[in-house]
Amino acid sequence: LLWIIPALPLAAVALNLLFGDRLGKRGTAVLACGAVGLAFLAAVRAVLAVAALPEEARAITETAWTWMRVGDFKVDVAFLLDPLSSIMVLVVTGVGFLIHVYSTAYMAEDPSFRRFFLYLNLFMFAMLTLVLADNYLLMFVGWEGVGLCSYLLIGFWHQKQSATDAGKKAFIVNRVGDFGFILGVLFLIANAHSVNYHQVFASAPALGAVATVATLLMFLGATGKSAQIPLYVWLPDAMEGPTPVSALIHAATMVT
């Protein structure tokens, strides 16, 4: 049940939106931290299932539904857990849970306590979608989701002009990198006729220069997200967000 892992923080976002006023600070904190804690336990269970498989077969793919189908081209909302995504899903949920718990005390006196945890849970959902996606297009949904959440969290204290400017700067610089990423995906659709990882990898030797161009374009997206030269200028200003945001974005998950 891989879909449970990203679904838990998304469910917390929905419940926060619907019932947040009734929950109070304690209820909001329990809901937000509990969802991420349960996601971590679900991730541990899934990773143990992968580890129990023979070494050459350590990958689990789960298709939730078919997202789009155009002729022979098909994209699924599907999740993939292999050794690489196993590491990342444990880092995201494990470290993310600790940051959520720390945030309950750090933000205790903030009047926008509920809004902060709504953004934090949404960030977790986007990051888990990114690392568990089994195709480039679904990965791009998570990719854009973490970009949106970084904008919302960096500019969280929007009454300060410096915070709103920092949020906008991060958003715009990342859009430059993300334009490269989506161009790379379009190259693959046009030439490999697929966005599924395994199908693209299998056809990569026959793609020749197209594979190189697509890889470089996607690398431009990674350059923006991980604040590398020349798309690094948003990172120093990103400290305008609350400290737990810096821990989540810079130290633990998104930049990594």
Distance, in Å, from the CA atom of 217 to the CA atom of 182, rounded to the nearest integer, reads 8
What is the percent of the chain where pLDDT is above 70? Answer: 98
Mean pLDDT of the chain: 89
Q: How far is CA 85 from CA 88, 91, 120, 167, 222, in A?
A: 5, 10, 21, 29, 16
- Three-state DSSP at 38 gives helix
Query: Residue 256 carries which DSSP code?
Result: -
Q: What are the pLDDT digits (tens) for 15-41?
A: 998 887 788 889 999 999 999 999 999
- This prediction's pTM: 0.91
Q: What are the pLDDT digits (tens) for 172-230?
A: 888 888 899 999 999 999 888 889 998 898 888 888 888 899 999 999 888 888 878 88
Q: What are the pLDDT digits (tens) for 216-244?
A: 999 988 888 887 888 888 888 888 888 88
Distance, in Å, from the CA atom of 176 to the CA atom of 171, rounded to the nearest integer, reads 9
Q: Closest Cα to residue 236, out of 177, 184, 170?
A: 170
5-19, 75-89, 136-150, 221-235, range with the lowest pLDDT = 221-235
Q: How far is CA 200 from CA 16, 76, 103, 179, in A?
A: 39, 15, 40, 20
What pLDDT does residue 253 have? Answer: 63
Q: How far is CA 61 from CA 14, 84, 134, in A?
A: 26, 14, 7
